[in-house]
Amino acid sequence: MKKNVKWAVIFGCVVLLCAGVIFFGQFSHGTTSAEIYVDGRLYKVIYDLGRQDLQSFRVETEHGYNVICYKSGKIWVSEADCANQTCVKYAKASLVGETIVCAPHKLVIKIVGTDYKKVDAVT
Ligand SMILES: [Zn+2]
């Protein structure tokens, strides 16, 4: 009986350790955020970039609009009424430091992470 309890404790520890690794892995994956600038000013910060369900919102600038979507750590412009449509054609951004720019609307989407902010604070 005592032997069984000992094994149960060991098994429990292993399960907890695995759960911890999975949790930590997801946590570290979810640290990226996105900053959206309009005309050089911070317009919005997205902290839940790692969400599994598709999110989208519309940014109204004085030059036009951009519809921004994000899901699973990726962000992109799905629709815009700018002349060149460059922002819509951009590849989905997901890595820290990546940017999506809509020059006609003076809109910038920048991926930031915890490490990136530390670097930024030093410089
Ligand atoms: Zn654009």
Kindly state the average pLDDT of the residues 55-67.
Answer: 97
Residue 27 Cα to ligand 1 midpoint, Å, equals 32
pLDDT over threshold 80, residue 116: no
Query: What's the pLDDT score for residue 13?
Result: 87
Q: Whole-model pTM?
A: 0.70
Residue 87 Cα to ligand 1 midpoint, Å, equals 4
Residue 92 Cα to ligand 1 midpoint, Å, equals 14
Q: In whole angstroms, what is the distance from residue 18 CA to residue 12 CA?
A: 10
Query: What's the pLDDT score for residue 25?
Result: 56
Residue 90 gets which letter from DSSP?
S
| Nearest Cα to Cα of residue 36 among 120, 114, 110 | 110
